[in-house]
Amino acid sequence: MSLSLNLSNKVVLVTGVSSGIGLATACQFAKAGAFVAGCSRKPADDESVRNFCQEASTETLKALYVQADVTVQADLERLVNTVIETFGKIDILVSNAGVNVFEGAAGCTEDKWNYNMNLNLASHWRLAKLCKPYLEKSDDGVILLMTSNHAYYTIPGCFPYNVTKTAIKGLVQSLAIEWGPAVRTIGIAPGFIDTAGNDTWFNSFDNPNAERQRTIDMHPVKRIGTTDEVGALCVFLASDYARFISGNTILMDGGRSALMQDS
Ligand SMILES: NC(=O)c1ccc[n+]([C@@H]2O[C@H](COP(=O)([O-])OP(=O)(O)OC[C@H]3O[C@@H](n4cnc5c(N)ncnc54)[C@H](OP(=O)(O)O)[C@@H]3O)[C@@H](O)[C@H]2O)c1
């Protein structure tokens, strides 16, 4: 028997689809036949949004885009209502939108702390709560929360980002035990992924190629990850093959965390 990830007739809502992991994840769900709804703060006529609508549409249904800021409760409510009005249901939530707030524990202001807690942590809980009644009506409701390898280990200066990402592991556990068996909740913790944001970081060095190679060499698999790989993991976790997975956060970091120290 061949293994196929077929999510046709499933409706997935992905946040943060204007770039990076969210866009690739939306596209992987569309390839598996799911109907895709997505949001970001970009206006609908932005080139990145037009790209999302084209790439995340299936042969039968156009992807839905809603301009929404996930830190604004009214936007979250409008987002969920629009998905229900358009598709009639939500089977899978991929709560992905997030930003790097790298301030350091001494330098971080109250405003930066609150902004990051609101966006990288509370917005996941608020959106999950709004989707809960619809996910419960699904045959297998699934919530996927995007955390990070910073939930397991971190580097100086990445506070409070690492605090929010560590807290998501707890959120995953609470939702899994309180909302199961109707809804499965799983965290995804990517390591170093090849995104425009990380390119910008490489480009901040005098020799970006050398810095990229140094990073690659730190990984036992001798490369960094791709957004398509994160998206494919999300599709698998939302599929019937993953029905025994809930309450865990899956780390995908190319073996980086297995190394005690760099030689
Ligand atoms: N790249 C990595 O190596 C890596 C590793 C581990 C974890 N992650 C996590 O993966 C997720 C995606 O990261 P990425 O690298 O793909 O970043 P990205 O390319 O910057 O994408 C972030 C997405 O979130 C959206 N977004 C940001 N703030 C938002 C808000 N307030 N409301 C709605 N949408 C918002 C952005 O759209 P607009 O700006 O247009 O609103 C964009 O679509 C994040 O949670 C990040 O922490 C990334």
Between CA 27 and CA 250, with CA 165 as vertex, the angle to 5 degrees is 60
Does 73 reside within a domain? yes
Does 3 reside within a domain? no
Does 213 reside within a domain? no
- Of 195, 212, 250, the one to substitute when testing ligand 1's pocket (max ligand atoms within 8 A of C-beta) is 195
**Averaged pLDDT of the chain:** 97
Active site residues: 161
Determine the pLDDT at residue 263. 75
Does 88 reside within a domain? yes
**From the CB of 225, is ligand 1 less than 6 Å away?**
no
Does 55 reside within a domain? yes
Does 210 reside within a domain? no
pLDDT one-digit tens code per residue, 25-63: 999 999 999 999 999 999 999 999 999 999 999 888 899
pLDDT one-digit tens code per residue, 124-153: 999 999 999 999 999 999 999 999 999 999
Domain of 236, CATH number, reads 3.40.50.720
Closest C-alpha residue for ligand 1 atom 8: 148
pTM of the entire predicted model: 0.98
pLDDT one-digit tens code per residue, 170-199: 999 999 999 999 999 999 999 999 999 999
For the chain, what is the domain count?
1
* pLDDT over threshold 80, residue 72: yes
**From the CB of 175, is ligand 1 less than 6 Å away?**
no
> Which residues constitute the domain of residue 141?
11-194+226-254
pLDDT class of 261 with cuts at 50, 70, 90: confident
Does 5 reside within a domain? no
How close is the Cα of 1 to the center of ligand 1, in Å? Answer: 37
How close is the Cα of 19 to the center of ligand 1, in Å? Answer: 7
**The 3-state secondary structure of the chain, one letter per residue:** CCCCCCCCCCEEEEECCCCHHHHHHHHHHHHCCCEEEEEECCCCCCHHHHHHHHHCCCCCCCCEEEECCCCCHHHHHHHHHHHHHHHCCCCEEEECCCCCCECCCCCCCHHHHHHHHHHHHHHHHHHHHHHHHHHHHCCCEEEEEECCHHHCCCCCCCCEHHHHHHHHHHHHHHHHHHHCCCEEEEEEEECCECCHHHHHHHHCCCCHHHHHHHHHHCCCCCCCECHHHHHHHHHHHHCHHHCCCCCCEEEECCCHHHCCCCC
Biggest CA pair distance of the chain: 56
Between CA 210 and CA 226, with CA 194 as vertex, the angle to 5 degrees is 130
Arithmetic mean of pLDDT, 70-75:
98
Does 207 reside within a domain? no
**From the CB of 21, is ligand 1 less than 6 Å away?**
yes
- Of 13, 18, 21, the one to substitute when testing ligand 1's pocket (max ligand atoms within 8 A of C-beta) is 21
pLDDT class of 216 with cuts at 50, 70, 90: very high
Query: What is the number of the ligand 1 atom nearest to the C-alpha of 42?
Result: 40
